[in-house]
Amino acid sequence: MTSANVDNGVNVEHLLGARNALTEAREAAQFTWKATNEWLNGTHSRSSVDSYHGLGEEHQHRSTFTFEADHPLVFGAEDNAATPVELVLAGLASCLTAGVAAVAQNREIQLRSVKATLEGSMDILGILGGDPDVRNGFNDVKVSYDIDADASPDEIRALVAQSQKRSAVYDIITNPTNVSVEVN
């Protein structure tokens, strides 16, 4: 499948092999992604990610990854880290870019550079409780890609479109999800 001279560093054979194996073994395809979070001070907190469940067993990441978040100075906070909504933008961008690389590899398109710029617009009267008709979340998310690759403009647009079609975070943001929050 992979052409010898196209290398975006994505193991497409592994992904296609997994798809074939998992359509016959649906249980193994059930993954659980996990994170923990601990309050530090003020609006500052730290999330940790070290393990996930899938293929019927628990897996450890190669190390524990941490992500801090805080609110900015204009909110009267200390701005120790990115805001949570900026982490959401980062998650969306990372997911779409990974998809672009994988789809490009599968379509034998050599990438040279892929850059995304994201903007999420928000009326903060929502989170401040200042107007009950304003939602808390983004009104709109705009993603803009600059891609340099051995492909026509339409082929590049098709990479980005296909990446959205197969993106977990794009799906999470564009579709509703049931969320249950419990207190132990």
Partner 1 sequence: MKTTTVVVGAGHSGLAVSRRLTERSIDHVVIERGEVANSWRTQRWDSLRLLTPNWQSRLPGYDYGAHGGRDPDGFMSMPEVVRFMADYATLVDAPVRTGTTVTSVRSAGAGYIVDTDKGRWECKTVVLASGGFNVAKVPELGGAPPASVTAMSAFEYRNPAALAPGGVLVVGASATGVQIADEVRRSGRPVTVAVGEHVRMPRLYRGRDILWWMERSGLFDERYDEVDDVVRVRRTPSPQLVGTPERATLDLNALTDQGVSLVGRLAALRGTEALLSGSLTNKCELADLKLDRLLDTFDEWAAESRVDAVGPPERFAPTRVPPSPPLRLDLAGGRVRTIIWATGFRPDYSWLDVPVLDQKGQIRHDGGVVTGSGGLYVMGLNFLRRRKSSFIHGAGDDSRDLVSHLAGHLDSLAAA
Binding site for partner 1 (CB under 8 A): 23, 26, 139-140, 154, 157-158, 161-162, 164-165, 170-171, 173-176, 178
Q: Work out how close the CB of 178 gets to partner 1 at its nearest, in angstroms, rounded to a whole number.
A: 8
Structure tokens at 143: 């993603």
Which residues, 6+ apart, have CB-to-CB distance to 39 below 8 Å?
45
Q: Work out how close the CB of 156 gets to partner 1 at its nearest, in angstroms, rounded to a whole number.
A: 10
Strand partners, 148: 113
Q: In the complex with partner 1, which residue's Cβ is closer, 23 or 32?
A: 23
Distance of CA 155 to the CA centre of its chain: 23
Q: In the complex with partner 1, which residue's Cβ is closer, 57 or 140?
A: 140
Q: What are phi and psi of 103, to 5 degrees?
A: -65, -40
Q: Work out how close the CB of 180 gets to partner 1 at its nearest, in angstroms, rounded to a whole number.
A: 14
Q: In the complex with partner 1, which residue's Cβ is closer, 68 or 171?
A: 171
Angle at CA of residue 55, ends 84 and 175, nearest 5°: 40
Q: In the complex with partner 1, which residue's Cβ is closer, 140 or 182?
A: 140
Q: Work out how close the CB of 92 gets to partner 1 at its nearest, in angstroms, rounded to a whole number.
A: 12
Directed axis angle between helix 84-106 and helix 12-24, to 10°?
A: 100
Q: How far apart are CA 182 and CA 184, in angstroms?
A: 6
Q: In the complex with partner 1, which residue's Cβ is closer, 8 or 164?
A: 164
Helices (H), the chain: 12-24, 84-106, 125-128, 153-165, 168-174
Q: Work out how close the CB of 47 gets to partner 1 at its nearest, in angstroms, rounded to a whole number.
A: 25
